[in-house]
Structure 1
Amino acid sequence: MRRYGYSIFCDDIRSEAGGKLSFIGCYNAVMMTAQKFPLVLSKFCIHFHVFSPATQPYTSVTARCYVPGEPEPIAEEPIEVPGLLDQQNLLDRLPKDIAVPPYIVVASSLVFSPLEIREPGLINIRVVINGGPDELHLGSLQVVPAST
């Protein structure tokens, strides 16, 4: 069992009644822009989920966002994770003979307002788990000029 995750790239995220989220203007792998580079987006959002086997608890999760033309992350945000005792209690309460192994999920959103993108390329979201040296890739969005 391995850790994994995914991301939704969109123009806005709205909180709805009952704890629901609405994602407005979602992108499908590619953002085509008619604007010249560098371009400035008035708002840009990334919502992500990280899944870790319950046998591999979190002590920390830090999200990093990279944009084209910037070698370092433009954002590095610590994400709140359940306490180790809470994670262990979850594992202890589950039946030992379940067919699907339990995962602990951490979800969060990054909101940029505005976001400058200097050149075409990939917007990447990654997380560092438990302060480790490796980054877990949660997705990317290719930014390209629209063909004229």
Structure 2
Amino acid sequence: MARKKPKLEYAIICDDIRQEVGKKFTFVGIYGGRDLIVRELPFIFPKLCFAVFYKDMKCGDSFSIELSEPSGKQLGQTINGELPGESKGYINFMVFALFSPLKVEKNGKYKLLITINNDKKNRNEIEFSIKLTDETQQS
């Protein structure tokens, strides 16, 4: 039987991710949508975190994560990793990508690009926008 392709289930964008006792995680400052509102540009996020959830992964699968700005230029370094373990079957997998600090200089659509097992044809993109706040709507 052919191998299932790993499937991106969902992603969370937040200010911080903390590991708790008992294999629990706390997500701090979760962004409710895909628009991240800033007061000025350039803007520096002290930390911007992504929790990405996949299913149908296998131990030994590799991944790479890149963040790009609207022009396509890469921000920060590529994050590379491999799923540890001995399991032979399919597993669900959660990977965290933390960029700290992260300086953004432009409005527009940014992308978190995730490649599994060097399969660039099936690369996943998590798109979000950086937008300036509308000062007239603040109270």
Structure 1-normalised TM-score?
0.74
1:9 and 1:113, CA in 2 relative to 1: closer, same or farther beyond 3 A? Answer: same
Q: Is residue 45 of structure 1 aligned with residue 49 of structure 2?
A: yes
Cα distance in 2 between the residues matched to 1:134 and 1:31: 28
1:81 and 1:67, CA in 2 relative to 1: closer, same or farther beyond 3 A? Answer: same
Aligned residue in 1 for 2:101: 114
Aligned residue in 2 for 1:62: 64
**Equivalent residues of 2:76, 2:99 under 8 A apart:** no
Of Structure 1 and Structure 2, the greater strand share is in 2
Which runs of 5 or more structure 2 residues have no equivalent in the other structure?
none
Give 2:6's aligned amino acid: R
Which runs of 5 or more structure 1 residues have no equivalent in the other structure?
91-102
**Equivalent residues of 2:53, 2:94 under 8 A apart:** yes
The equivalences for 1:91-106 within 5 A come to 103-106=90-93
**Equivalent residues of 1:67, 1:74 under 8 A apart:** no
**Equivalent residues of 2:60, 2:82 under 8 A apart:** no
Q: Secondary structure at the match of 1:18?
A: coil
**Equivalent residues of 1:58, 1:130 under 8 A apart:** no
Give 1:4's aligned amino acid: K
CA RMSD of aligned residues (A): 2.3
Alpha-carbon offset, residue 120 of structure 1:
0.9
Q: Secondary structure at the match of 2:27?
A: strand
Q: Secondary structure at the match of 2:22?
A: helix
Alpha-carbon offset, residue 18 of structure 1:
0.9
Alpha-carbon offset, residue 53 of structure 1:
6.3
**Equivalent residues of 1:4, 1:138 under 8 A apart:** no
Cα distance in 1 between the residues matched to 2:69 and 2:36: 13
Aligned residue in 2 for 1:143: 130
Cα distance in 2 between the residues matched to 1:13 and 1:42: 13
Aligned residue in 2 for 1:20: 24
Structure 2-normalised TM-score?
0.78
Cα distance in 1 between the residues matched to 2:117 and 2:14: 28
Alpha-carbon offset, residue 135 of structure 1:
4.8
Aligned residue in 2 for 1:9: 13
- Greater length-normalized contact order (CA 8 Å, ≥ 6 residues apart): 1
Of Structure 1 and Structure 2, the greater helix share is in 1
Which of 77, 80, 94 is the aligned partner of 2:79? 77
Identical residues among aligned pairs (%)? 23
Q: Deviations over 1:99-140 (max 9, x none)?
A: xxxx42232211122100010122322211111232532522
Cα distance in 1 between the residues matched to 2:22 and 2:133: 38
